[in-house]
Amino acid sequence: MKLRILSFLILISFGSYSQQTAADFFESGVNKSKAGDYTGALGDFSRAIAMNPENAQSYFNRGLTKQALKDHRGAIKDFTTAIELNPRESLSYLYRGMSQSEQGDPKTAIQDFNRTIELNSNDDYAYLQRGVTLAKLEEYRKAISDFNRVVELASDASSKYQAFFSRGYCKAKLGDYKGSISDYSKSIDINPKRAATFAERGASRLKVEEYAEAVSDFDKALELSPQDGESFYQRGFAKAKMADYVGALKDFDSALRIQPTDIKSLYGRGFCHSKLNNQRSAISDLDKAIEYGNTNLDSKVVYSTAMPEDKLATLRNGVTENIEIPTFSDNRSEAYYVRGVAQAKSGRNKDALENLNKAIELDPVFAPAHFSRGLVRSSEGLQKEALVDMDNAITLNEFYKEAFYVRGLIYQALGNTDKGCLDLSRAGELGYIQAYDVIKNLCN
């Protein structure tokens, strides 16, 4: 999300001029600026300056006009001259700082905002601008302090709205999602017509697993901004978290109609296709999610008579794991993982192993990828390698009941009854009830 504050034009009334003609041009510039004729206003302020080059107000107003025309370099030059002529005028520092920020020089902008506040400690707009610039520099705690001052000082609804919205943004960046939800809600109370506020609140609600409330927020965001592909993606993600894969699929479709190469939506749609048992479509989408713009030991096994290979395969293939849609990260490891799972379900174990290997390479601490690779390796007869994968999955998630269950089965198949029964018992304790059927038959 980009933080944007629209500057407003402050037109300082012209004081006494020694030359009436300069005053006439100044007033004409003011009127043209109010009417939105910034080019005409620029010419009038320039004439006023030519006739009276020592008047700071003319430079200030011409700087505002240049700022409105996006000529920030020219605006900075005029504000600097205004400051040289009248160094106690806080607004010249404020608006020079805004142009400095627009020019990509936030640190210099901060200096100007600091000077503005030194000259006028109750200027809420200066705190707002400094807070926004600090947020751009990722100094979120300092930015929050400034937004707190805006809330205290501001009398107009627009500044309060922006302060709550920006403070919510900073809190979300710091992981305080409950706090961000509260601030976004205050922004919505002031102005319920901004799609971005609902979208940002929905994103924070996703982080605290308030999925139904997130869907409601994205509903409102899309009502206000029907072509917001990101909100379609986020709503689809929330629905997928609620296991509404059909609804999620529709949202990912909508997101992709707006932006056909959005890799997050391709990933989400691929996940939903896989959950709905359309593995061919899942693999196709996940292929694209991984490929678009991406720069980024065999051993002979002797099976026990109690758990021969065919029995192990039957029990292993009966394993059910309730996979929630993982958050999509920049390295796309989750897409490799989901594609690997889809390929395994399609009987394409070689391809599945390649993708699961890649997922683990990109995110070595993602336990489900180790678990799924262990399943595939076991089905390929690589039981010792599968044990390593199950060990890793359990090390990363000590409550991974399915991994305990499968590791117990493999230990049984390799003749290590004690370890096998201990793992099956742990799986049962964690809630994997099928383990007790195996324990009943093999551990007594």
The pLDDT tens digits for 109-118 are 999 999 999 9
pLDDT tens digits, one per residue of 329-353: 999 999 999 999 999 999 999 999 9
Assigned domain for 180 exists: no
Helix axes 56-68, 38-51, angle to 10 degrees: 160
Domain stop point among 94, 121, 148: 121
- State the Cα–Cα distance between residues 149 and 163, nearest whole angstrom: 9
pLDDT tens digits, one per residue of 151-182: 999 999 999 999 999 999 999 999 999 999 99
For tokens 């989750």, name the residue: 334
Strand, coil or helix: what is 428? Answer: helix
- State the Cα–Cα distance between residues 240 and 232, nearest whole angstrom: 12
Assigned domain for 382 exists: yes
CA atoms within 13 A on the CB side of 40: 11
Assigned domain for 225 exists: no
Q: How many CB atoms lie within 10 A of CB 347?
A: 10
Assigned domain for 334 exists: yes
Domain count, the chain: 2
Q: What is the CATH number for 107? A: 1.25.40.10
CA 132 vs. chain centroid, Å, equals 18
Full DSSP string of 395-422? HH-TT-HHHHHHHHHHHHHTT-HHHHHH
State the chain's maximal CA–CA distance in angstroms: 110
Assigned domain for 2 exists: yes
pLDDT tens digits, one per residue of 229-246: 999 999 999 999 999 999
Assigned domain for 171 exists: no
Domain stop point among 101, 121, 141: 121
According to the model, what pLDDT value does residue 295 have?
58
pLDDT tens digits, one per residue of 307-325: 888 999 899 888 877 788 9
Q: How many CB atoms lie within 10 A of CB 10?
A: 12
pLDDT tens digits, one per residue of 261-287: 899 999 999 999 999 999 999 999 999
Range of the domain at 32: 1-121
Is the pLDDT reported for residue 140 higher than 60?
yes
Instruction: Tell me the two tokens of residue 6.
Output: 């629209």
- State the Cα–Cα distance between residues 384 and 379, nearest whole angstrom: 12
- State the Cα–Cα distance between residues 48 and 70, nearest whole angstrom: 21
Pair 413, 307: CB distance under 8 Å: yes
Element of type H or E holding 443 = none
Assigned domain for 293 exists: no
In percent, the amount of the chain with pLDDT more than 90 equals 77
Assigned domain for 143 exists: no
Domain stop point among 90, 121, 152: 121
